[in-house]
Amino acid sequence: EDQVTQSPEALRLQEGESSSLNCSYTVSGLRGLFWYRQDPGKGPEFLFTLYSAGEEKEKERLKATLTKKESFLHITAPKPEDSATYLCAVQAQGTDKLIFGTGTRLQVFP
């Protein structure tokens, strides 16, 4: 069964303190792995798509990486405005459906 597990559930960081969020997945052939950011009361906002092991994508203080079993979202020198819930999702080959993890709630305090 296709599955996505995110850890930790919650993470508190001081401004400037770099860290990583983990997304472990099992899927019968990966079509794509997606990272989203969700602010309270809003819908998820797309960040990155990764398609194959070894691929990396960067956007400002965020960098996403992918292996055959997991993806990491690295946050370098975070700022309070990076506080949000980060969601990971996978799409298997031959399907239109995305399977979502339960997210990591990130708080960055000054």
Partner 1 sequence: NAGVTQTPKFQVLKTGQSMTLQCAQDMNHEYMSWYRQDPGMGLRLIHYSVGAGITDQGEVPNGYNVSRSTTEDFPLRLLSAAPSQTSVYFCASRSGTGGSPLHFGNGTRLTVT
Q: Which is nearer to partner 1, 54 or 110 (CB)?
A: 54
| 54 binding partner 1? (CB under 8 A) | no
Least distance to partner 1, CB of residue 102, Å: 4
CA distance 14 to 109: 5
**Angle 101-70-89 from CA coordinates, rounded to 5°:** 30
| 78 binding partner 1? (CB under 8 A) | no
CA distance 77 to 13: 10
Radius of gyration in angstroms for the set of CA atoms belonging to the chain, rounded to a whole number: 13
Q: Read off the tokens for 38.
A: 């969700």
Least distance to partner 1, CB of residue 48, Å: 9
Residue of the chain from 32, 57, 61, 79 that contacts partner 1 (CB under 8 A): 32
Residue of the chain from 22, 26, 57, 100 that contacts partner 1 (CB under 8 A): 100
